[in-house]
């Protein structure tokens, strides 16, 4: 089998930029843990870090970047606009840049298509929605504070609304969505691709206490290859054509998740993982005052 160099793989975006295929996730990485995880990841060779204002850890992520000694320009840094900042996009990016201690981010994502009222976040604005937010995000590109803009948790219905609006001049570079063997979302991935939008896979391992770690198909392929179940799941994601954002605050796992070079999955192994029948979703929309998923993201 051909030896592969998966960790230096990148995906070309519709802006011409290249996003590193493997990024360290930082959701639920607690204070005191995330700086070390970011530092360990960058030292292990990761060149892509995924954070968000909502994770409350941008400051520590920035500290981890500086502690690693890796030059800023070698790192792809993504952060996200929080739901109750939709009417304050310029202030939101300035706050994130200040938290992170950087002059720009490589990718700024609208975290959810949910414009929550700042005064009462249990409600959405009645005079503003994600199309208005995107209009404001588009203005950031010329400021140099963001290199690329994109969206997250956008189902086909909301993407169509956005792309068909006359104010939409920039097609999102990325749609960051939940993607793992039990939520492969073929329709949404195909729709993204048809519009030139890169799919980036969040919760690629199935998140905390992932049932995938006990899945017999995955365990059997991992055993055959002398690899961990997590490595098999991540390589499967890369072979499906999306970037993967595994989170860990455990240094040995951070390193192991990046040990993806020099081995490969056969087409048959990929097909076996594709055929895993179990379905679960980590992130729903029950906690939001608006519907975000319509069953067209499957």
Ligand X SMILES: NC(=O)c1ccc[n+]([C@@H]2O[C@H](COP(=O)([O-])OP(=O)(O)OC[C@H]3O[C@@H](n4cnc5c(N)ncnc54)[C@H](OP(=O)(O)O)[C@@H]3O)[C@@H](O)[C@H]2O)c1
Q: How many CB atoms lie within 10 A of CB 20?
A: 20
Q: Which is nearer to ligand X, 124 or 212 (CB)?
A: 212
Q: Which is nearer to ligand X, 28 or 274 (CB)?
A: 28
Q: Please tell me whether residue 253 binds ligand X under the rule CB under 6 A.
A: yes
- Shortest Cβ 240–ligand X spacing (Å): 15
Q: Please tell me whether residue 282 binds ligand X under the rule CB under 6 A.
A: yes
Binding mask 26-65 for ligand X (x = CB under 6 A): xxx---------------------x---------------
Q: Which of 62, 113, 206, 237 binds ligand X (CB under 6 A)?
A: 206
Q: Please tell me whether residue 257 binds ligand X under the rule CB under 6 A.
A: yes
Q: What is the CA radius of gyration of the chain?
A: 18
Binding mask 84-123 for ligand X (x = CB under 6 A): ---------------------------x------------
Q: Which is nearer to ligand X, 23 or 169 (CB)?
A: 23
What CA–CA distances, in Å, run from 196 to 30, 76, 167, 193? 35, 20, 18, 5
* Residue whose C-alpha is closest to residue 135's, from 160, 103, 118, 110: 110
Structural element, H or E, at residue 198: strand 198-202
Q: Which is nearer to ligand X, 58 or 136 (CB)?
A: 58
The CA dihedral of 121, 109, 189, 203, to the nearest 10 degrees, is: -70
- Shortest Cβ 166–ligand X spacing (Å): 27
Q: Which ranges of the chain does DSSP label H, i.e. alpha helix?
A: 34-44, 58-68, 89-100, 130-140, 156-164, 186-194, 216-225, 229-240, 251-256, 267-274
Residues annotated as catalytic are 55
């Amino acid at each position: 089998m051909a030896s592969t160099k998966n960790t230096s793989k990148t995906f070309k975006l519709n802006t011409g930029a290249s996003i590193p295929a493997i990024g360290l996730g930082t959701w639920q990485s607690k204070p005191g843990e995330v700086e070390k995880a970011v530092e360990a990841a960058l030292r292990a060779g990761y060149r892509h870090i995924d954070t968000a204002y909502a994770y409350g850890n941008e400051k520590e992520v920035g500290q981890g970047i500086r502690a690693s000694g890796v030059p800023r320009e070698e790192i792809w840094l993504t952060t996200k606009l929080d739901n109750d900042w939709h009417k304050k996009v310029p202030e939101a990016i300035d706050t994130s840049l200040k938290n992170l201690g950087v002059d720009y981010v490589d990718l700024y994502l609208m975290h959810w298509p949910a414009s929550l009222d700042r005064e009462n976040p249990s409600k959405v604005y009645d005079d503003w929605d994600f199309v208005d937010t995107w209009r404001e995000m588009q203005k950031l590109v010329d400021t140099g504070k963001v290199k690329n803009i994109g969206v997250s948790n956008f189902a086909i219905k909301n993407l169509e609304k956005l792309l068909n609006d006359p104010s939409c001049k920039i097609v999102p570079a990325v749609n960051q969505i939940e993607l793992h063997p039990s939520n492969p979302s073929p329709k949404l991935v195909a729709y993204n691709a048809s519009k030139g939008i890169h799919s980036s896979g969040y919760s690629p391992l199935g998140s905390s206490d992932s049932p995938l770690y006990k899945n017999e198909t995955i365990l059997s392929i991992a055993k055959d290859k002398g690899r961990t179940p997590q490595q098999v799941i991540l390589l499967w994601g890369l072979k499906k054509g999306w970037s993967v954002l595994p989170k860990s605050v455990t240094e040995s796992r951070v390193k192991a998740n990046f040990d993806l070079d020099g081995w490969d999955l056969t087409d048959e192994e990929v097909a076996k993982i594709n055929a895993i029948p179990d379905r679960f979703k980590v992130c729903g929309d029950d906690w939001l005052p608006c519907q975000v998923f319509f069953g067209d993201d499957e």
